[in-house]
Amino acid sequence: MGASLWHVRKALLSEIGNMNGSTGVIEAVQNREAIMAQKPGQLSLLVVWTAASLLAATQLGAQDTKSMRVSVQPEQQRMLAPEFSLKDARGTSVRLSAYRGHVVLLDFWATACGGCVKEIPAFVEIAQAYRGRGLATLGVSEDILYEDLKGPDEAWSRVNPFVRDHKIPYAVLMGNDQVTGAYGIKALPLTYLLDTSGRIAAIYAGVVDRANLEANINLLLSESKK
């Protein structure tokens, strides 16, 4: 991740952590507008959408600050998720587009991220429960950037034991600067829901509310049957 974008991530994380309600979300984005204008258009859109998701979560979850509840975007408003090809622990490259035709739960996480660790057991159960119903679950580790590690080998030395100990049944890939930038990752955990056409249907910027997540998964699965 470039230095300026990393600065944006840290600044937004600090501001979002101290904001009060929807006004704080909007101000956090407006304060960084000039910096983000230097980045590709799609990145800027994703940053704004992430902020919109935070705003929706603030409105829907005013009584529950521990988890995020968001609404699925209308089909005509959905953007295609940025394509990527990332390697798993065996060195096999996995392309996001290979999951077209499935609803995709895309989780950006790190082993030292408390919120990530908190929600992964729910992702494991959801992945197992919906595997035969059209859901594909992918985890993308951000350990290299989150812990300022030297590279993938050092990151896998942390991720592999975590995957084993938590019995994660879905594919876990190693993130890189390009994916971190393309998805506008400024804080973790960050979870995307993609529809069967590979478009972004919902973004959870924080620990997900499981009931809300499952409701949105079911909604997207029902769309594919129309």
What does the DSSP 8-state code read for residue 168? -
What digits encode the pLDDT tens for the residues 103-112? Answer: 999 999 999 9
Q: What is the pLDDT of residue 127?
A: 97
pLDDT at residue 23 is higher than 60: no
Distance in angstroms (rounded) separating the CA atoms of residues 173 and 186: 19
Highest mean pLDDT among 1-5, 18-22, 32-36, 52-56: 52-56
CB 192 within 8 A of CB 203: yes
What digits encode the pLDDT tens for the residues 49-62? Answer: 454 444 444 333 33
pLDDT band at 46 (very low <50, low <70, confident <90, very high): low
pLDDT at residue 65 is higher than 70: no
pLDDT at residue 2 is higher than 60: no
pLDDT at residue 26 is higher than 50: no
Summarize the confidence of residues 156-177 as an average pLDDT: 97
- Cross-strand bridge partners of residue 80: 199
Cα distances from 203 to residues 34, 66, 132, 220, in angstroms, run 23, 16, 23, 14
What digits encode the pLDDT tens for the residues 108-127? Answer: 999 999 999 999 999 999 99
Summarize the confidence of residues 42-55 as an average pLDDT: 47
Summarize the confidence of residues 170-193 as an average pLDDT: 95
Domains and CATH numbers, the chain: 64-223 (3.40.30.10)
pLDDT band at 43 (very low <50, low <70, confident <90, very high): very low
Q: What is the pLDDT of residue 224?
A: 75
Tokens of 21: 């309600």
CA 188 to chain centre: 8
pLDDT at residue 168 is higher than 60: yes
What digits encode the pLDDT tens for the residues 79-93? Answer: 999 999 999 999 999
- Concatenate the DSSP letters of all residues of 84-121 into one string: -EEE-TTS-EEEGGGGTTSEEEEEEE-TT-HHHHHHHH
